[in-house]
Chain A
Amino acid sequence: MATCRAGRTCVLQYDRSALNQTLPSSLRGGGYHVERIALSLSLKPAGKNIMNMKAIVLTEFGGPQALRLSEATIAAPAPGEVLLRHTAIGVNFHDCYVRSGLYRTLELPGIPGIEGVGVIEAVGAGVTGLRVGERVGWVSGRYGGYASHRIVREAEAIRLPENVADADMAATLMKALTACVLVTRAHAVQPGQTVLVHAAAGGVGQLLSAWCRHLGATVIGTVGNRDKAEVARAAGAHHTILYREENFVDRVKDLTAGAGVAAAFDPVGKDTFLGSMECLDFQGTLVNYGQASGPVEPFTPSVLATRSLSVVRPIVFHYVRNAQQLADLSARVFDAFKQGIIRPIVPIQLPLADAASAHEILEQQRSPGGVVLVP
């Protein structure tokens, strides 16, 4: 059997029957615009240029228990690539949707995870900008994060500021890039605007609150309880709404003298989608970036017509499709750290083997700072 070519991430111990399944050659389901992870199977033991690693290999969609630690192999970096030893792996809601099967963007069996931080252990031919021993981070729709090691393309690698710890960086990188895309691209926040930030005490929510406030917007945040209201206010929210006790649409109308907000940033999905739309001022934009409460019900564009509204459903990967775009966006994020506009998130740290617990914590909204996995 040919050993793994493109992705060089190979499952070593794996149910032989699964090997007979034909891996689909293109993305299934939603057909997201992300490159498919190049993952193939090999029973070939570790040998020359192939080493063992630990990885969470998803073999079927399901609950957190579907995340189990396995032995896997990884090959030496090909030209233009480096081998990264992870020191911290970010856990995102995206991973929960991949695990549950809502997003069919990871071919099974596959290793989830869209961001990591680590140290370069080997560099492939033709890599000019990176050296062994260097510390870098990455975000990618090609997955492979929940593993002790990952092959990273040179164009994918992000040089990190020195004064942020690996775990904090792994907890923050994807979320901060997301926040940056949301407030500068999905809806360019302008001074004087009022914006609604749902889950304002969450990882992205705190970053959004801080960033929107810095941009001169008035920030209204929704939160689940009083403790989280404190967190959201500390992050930058001017007003908080306890969505379990108050009707957030009515409260937003009150707080904006009936006008509504210029933009609503909504990772909640199903439960808030139409309400968020109701909160918008004329020509307002609903920026949906997740569905923590479930997928949004199908809707007709004519609901947008009464106030000339827009809906956008962004994902960071489309905004960083080449090295230059990635460098520009990450520079903007690191500059925001430096200026104190946003602060890195301090996460809960769990061993890689406890990925299931990490997902439970995320899904039960138990950690404002999020979770990282440490191999």
Chain B
Amino acid sequence: MKTSVVRIHRHGGPEVLQYEDIALAPPAAGEVQIAQSAIGLNFADVYQREGEHGPHDSQALPITLGGQGAGKVVAVGPGVTSFQSGDSVAYICPGAYAAQRNVPAERLIKLPSTVSEEVAAAMLLRGLTAEYLLRRLYNVKAGDNVLVHAAAGGMGLILSQWAHSLGARVIGTVGSDAKVAIAKEHGCADVIVYTREDFAMRTMELTGGVGADVIFDGVGKSAFLKSLDCIRPMGMVISYGTASGNVGAFDLQLLHRKSIIVTRPTLRTWIARREDYEAAARTLFNALDASQVRADINRRYALKDIRLAHEELQGRGTVGAAILVP
């Protein structure tokens, strides 16, 4: 059979995104075929389109973009026993920009009735990233001072809400005054506009001279080194992304000053084992169900309108999550 997908045959701007039909084979052994109802849009898709693969391996062209989706199981391949036709599922797996596709069963998560396919498609990747960042890699506790960089960004909004709901005092940094209100609405007790305030100095002030217990840094280059100045002794600086560029080389002695731990994690390793993946998804779904984290889906695009979707995503004028509908 055939299915509609969005692929790139070369790297570049939104114009390289091609909406086209390709052949879809029946699910192979261990695979499940899904008719997708929603596909999550991530900034990582833009990087991949441009040819920036970050810490991940590069892929051969043409590439079907997209990292997360949800829908109904329509067929299962040989050996698959844990899923059946009609199941509502979501996944994190490359190649999501498609109406219908095959996914290894080991990457599928069965959705509880409390979580819609739309919410799962929009939230799974960022939600599971937040889950490992603040529930496992660092376990946020009530009373912790948590600094979230780019608090009004896609990850920042989720981290701020979730950390706040766990009882932490969240300090957020944002790039403009216009983003202060949105960060505060999502759990930030204090918001620092880093373009006109020294965020390290302000964080030290706000924490009584002690520093933050943990810093979630998805910004990279422009935030990392200064973050070392406002972490508390023995605190953890988590560089989970590099939106402003890669962090340059730094001196280990900067960590010695305060026995700091620095880590540069990727989601992939934290959900590599099936039991971790399932447990993480359960934790996320419970957090969504308890409204500890909200899925603010405020943009929906038809899959064929992918170029517009990427243009608006890159414009960064938008807040909240976006999905593609095949």
Contacts and interface: CB of A to CB of B under 8 A. Distances in A.
Contacts of A308: 263-266, 269-270
B251 interface: yes
B182 interface: no
B233 A321 contact: yes
A300 B249 contact: yes
Nearest to A288: B252
Contacts of B253: 30, 295, 313
Contacts of B295: none
A283 B55 CA distance: 15
B261 A282 contact: no
A31 B257 contact: yes
A120 B249 CA distance: 48
A305 B261 CA distance: 14
Interface stretch (B199-207, B239-247, B297-305): B239-247
A241 B234 CA distance: 31
Contacts of A305: 54-55, 264-266
Interface string A277-320: 00000110100100000011111111111111111111100110
Interface in A61-110: none
B contact face: mostly helix, strand, loop, or mixed: loop
A33 B260 CA distance: 11
Interface residues of B, number: 30
Contacts of A273: 252
A285 B253 CA distance: 17
Given A33-B257, A318-B259, A299 B264 contact: no
Given A282-B272, A318-B234, A311 B259 contact: no
Interface in A226-257: none
Given A30-B253, A30-B256, A282-B269, A301 B264 contact: yes
B262 interface: yes
Interface string B310-323: 00000000000000
B258 to A, nearest CB: 5
Interface string A29-62: 0111100000000000000000000000000000
Most buried by A among B54, B247, B269: B269
B192 to A, nearest CB: 22
A185 interface: yes
Nearest to B264: A304
Nearest to B237: A301
Nearest to A290: B256
B247 A32 contact: no
Most buried by B among A186, A296, A301, A313: A301
B160 to A, nearest CB: 22
A24 to B, nearest CB: 17
A311 B255 contact: yes
Contacts of A321: 233
Contacts of B270: 283, 308
A300 B252 CA distance: 10
Contact of A311 (B224, B247, B252, B258): B252
Nearest to B246: A302
Given A301-B264, A308-B264, A318-B258, A313 B242 contact: no
B261 A312 contact: yes
A321 B250 CA distance: 27
Contacts of A299: 249-250, 252
B300 to A, nearest CB: 33
A50 to B, nearest CB: 35
Given A300-B250, A302-B246, A313-B253, A307 B269 contact: yes
Given A288-B252, A301-B247, 10 more contacts: A283-B265, A298-B252, A300-B246, A304-B263, A305-B55, A308-B266, A309-B263, A311-B255, A318-B259, A319-B259
Interface of B: 54-55, 224, 233-234, 239, 242, 246-253, 255-266, 269-270, 272
**Sorted from nearest, which 8 A-B pairs have the closest CB atoms?**
A305-B55, A298-B249, A313-B255, A304-B264, A310-B263, A308-B265, A312-B261, A314-B259
